Chain A
Amino acid sequence: MGPAARSGTDLKRVRGLGAAHAGVHHWWAQRVTAAANLLLGIWLVASLLWLPDFSRAAVVAWVGQPWVAVPLALLVGSATWHMRLGVQVMLEDYVRDEGLRRLLLILLDFYAVGVAAVGLFAVLKIAFGAADA
């Protein structure tokens, strides 16, 4: 890129934060969690097909295995993180009022962290043998 095509100062370019002052971290994290969701999602689909039935005993026996609990916990984390990033973009696109937008972003954080906490707690409780079924 020639000097004429550059915008902003050299310092601004080297910081790489762009017009949103946040850089590409959000965009990149959305894509990294997408790749994780793709792999873990395919695994979940295969697992749901392989489960003999959806009784509590079958589910607890399934989640109780280390090689199920770990990817399932990772999926809960990756999916809620990806969801948090995606819904944020939607709110920033469509909610014009700044006060309302900030309030909804806080509620989104509560929802994302809440869902992740519940899901992870449940997986770990079953995995550590504390759910007697």
Chain B
Amino acid sequence: MAVSIMHRVSGHGLAVVGLALLAWWLIAAATSDEAYAIFQEFATSWMGRIVWVGLSWLAFQHLLSGVRHLWLDAGFGYDSRAAQRSALAVFVGAVVMAGLFWAVRWGL
């Protein structure tokens, strides 16, 4: 149940914050150096960094729980132990994938 609730929560986080920031990033790059500098000032601030890390985690969480939903839609994984295992795998997998993403991006 928690994974299903988090699917909705992460989806709305991506909807409201993620897509708005994606549009801001692209339009700033398309506009001018000044416009991009304003975006970068936010993006490289502590606030911005927290937002990027949070968004990446939400993105992987939503991606994995979305795949799980499609799998359930197709009629698989309904037995209660399998459903609990896949729910746990979604939570762990999202954290691991977000961690790997930033480890590669920051060259750790």
Binding site for B on A (CB under 8 A): 31, 34-35, 37-38, 41, 45, 48-49, 54, 56, 59-60, 63, 72, 76, 79-80, 83, 86-87, 90, 115, 118-119, 121-123, 125-126, 130-131, 133
A87 adjacent to B15 (CB under 8 Å): yes
Binding site for A on B (CB under 8 A): 8, 11-12, 14-15, 19-20, 22-23, 25-31, 33, 36, 40, 43, 59, 63, 66-67, 69-70, 73, 101, 104-105
Known contacts A41-B59, A49-B101, A54-B43: A131-B19 contact under CB 8 Å: no
- A-B CB contacts (within 8 Å), total count: 83
A41 CB to nearest chain B CB (Å): 6
B70 adjacent to A118 (CB under 8 Å): no
Residues of A within 8 A of B70 (CB): 31, 34-35
